[in-house]
Structure 1
Amino acid sequence: MSVHASLAPNLDVGSPFVELRGAFVATTRASGPWSPGHCHGGAVAALAVRAAAGVATRATMALARLTIDLLAPVPVGKPILPRIRVDKDGSKLQRLVVALDVDGRTMAIASLLRVRTTGCPPYRAKVDWVDETAAEIGTLGGFSGQFETVSEQGGIGMVGPGRVWFRMRAPLVEGGPYIAEEAAAAIADFTSAIGMSRPYQLYEFPSVDLSVGLSRAPLGEWIRIDAFNSDGDEGRAACYSTLSDCYGPFAHVVQTSFVERRS
């Protein structure tokens, strides 16, 4: 699939992606910390959720689990074509496989599990509050700049463990709605950055996968990530976090990072 010059998207719009003829094109606001020409893992994970959103279910269902393998860096400025396969389409659960292709090559592959909702949400009272007066914009630019953050401990680029509130500043796709599960997937990928036990200035630790299990969708736009990493000596780190909103925890995250010293 090619993009003609007359159809090429503005790569400095307010959202990380624009939609173009059934594909998505990453703007500069989707870029990650390791290369300005490639997408942040959180942007890719959220895009997998968006790509699956239009698949119908036999009953009212909600996302219960997302697992994504980041097979290769996803480039900024090229069409990303989703391929979706329904592996299971039952009355209680649905399993989707979403492949994200660029120039005919699969760059990421995700599994999404949707589970039927009962329609009986429990009573909730707020247990946490975020100090919005302390909000800052992500300092690393690119995708991190798409979020307001309030740090309770540590932060992006700081040695973890850490605990930080995030709020998306714009929809994932230009002109589209804000979708809570997309925000959760995007923020979950910051687990390694918030929990990493090595200094950002000396090490790179790109994510190679992400798994998010959700007991419910987040309520409100602020999501807190409470992260720590188990950093081994074999060039990888196991990264863990809990995602919460003002009503308490709603998801757990497991992630693998490839760790190496900056050259």
Structure 2
Amino acid sequence: MAYFEQTGEHTFRATEHVGGAWEAGTQHIAPALGLLVHAVETDRDTRRGDRPEDRLRVSRLSFDILGTVPVAEVDVAVRVLRPGRTVELVEATLVHAGRAVVVLRAWLLQPRDTGALQGTGLAAVPGPEEHEPWDPTTVWPGGFIASVEVRRRQVAPGRATFWVRTPVPLVADREVSRLAATAGLLDIANGMTVLADPRTVAFPNVDLTAHLVAEPRGAWVGFDTAVTFGADGLGLTHSVVHDETGPIGTSSQSLTVRPGAGL
């Protein structure tokens, strides 16, 4: 069973594997973010064709999470805000029962050969085989958390490196890119090295922004993650994102920290 089953041209039914961590019966938003990226890429390929030389690459994914969504059928709508031959800004919206739940704005850029300039100041992390298996269901409930495999090195509360993969397809019986599948795992970072016990403190994220410099390769997604809580109820989960070749970008989540409102 996949995270979503396509029921119409723009409609998808969530399955039990998207069950949320904070509230029973609501979706963990991670797979929905991947679904929106899949919709953006499908729209791009429909408009531009599937020739590699015409395919713009996703550079930034900026998701605003407007509320919770039940484990139910959702609609996805895509529109181009800034068309262009070399640069485009595309918006995708996840809707349930007429209400927008998540809005994605994605920058797509024309690829060029910059192999001679390639380099990074971001540090690589050891691969998944050098991390110990860790069971996230010891901290979190929900179908999505139960569907993933995690290997982790915990440095301190709120600080860890870890690798995540899932055997569950994003959309049943549909070809999905490695980027969309990876985007469907990014939101998990906020719960993999907690700074506070989620049974006593809630810290859901209201957004996620990822900047990418390469298309991900392989099933494993690596994270070098640090969590910060401020003194006034604001928080941040920041990650350097990896595949097994090295760092491929960053991801940040803005948190609303709520003592006394845990699981």
The residue matched to 2:191 in structure 1 has which SS? helix
Query: In the alignment, which residue of structure 1 is the partner of 2:158?
Result: 160
Corresponding position of 1:194: 192
Q: What TM-score results when the alignment is normalised by the length of structure 2?
A: 0.84
Task: Determine the structure 2 residue equivalent to 1:116.
Answer: 110
Aligned to 1:7: none
2:67 maps to 72
In the alignment, what sits opposite 2:25?
Answer: 37
Q: Which residue of 1 aligns with 2:75?
A: 81
> Partner of 1:216 in structure 2?
214
Secondary structure at the counterpart of residue 53 of structure 1: helix
Q: Which of residues 219, 228, 238 in structure 1 aligns to 2:226?
A: 228
Q: Secondary structure at the match of 1:189?
A: helix
**Alignment partner of 1:16 is 2:11:** no
Residue 235 of structure 2 corresponds to 237
What displacement does 1:188 show? 1.9
Q: Which has the higher helix share?
A: 2
Q: Secondary structure at the match of 1:184?
A: helix
What corresponds to 1:143 in structure 2?
144
1:165 Cα shift? 0.4
Gaps of 5+ in 2: 49-53
TM-score normalised according to structure 1 size: 0.84
The 8 Å contact of residues 170 and 184 in structure 2, kept in 1 or not, is answered as no
> Deviations along 1:96-148, whole A, 9 cap, x unmatched?
11111111111111101111112565799x98432189545642341122211
Q: Give the share of equivalent positions with the same residue, in percent.
A: 24
The one of 87, 92, 99 aligned to 1:93: 87
Whether contact under 8 Å (1:80, 1:102) holds in the other structure is: yes
Report the CA distance between 1:233 and its aligned residue.
Answer: 2.4
Which whole-Å CA distance do the structure 2 matches of 1:17 and 1:159 have between them? 33
Name the count of aligned residue pairs.
Answer: 245
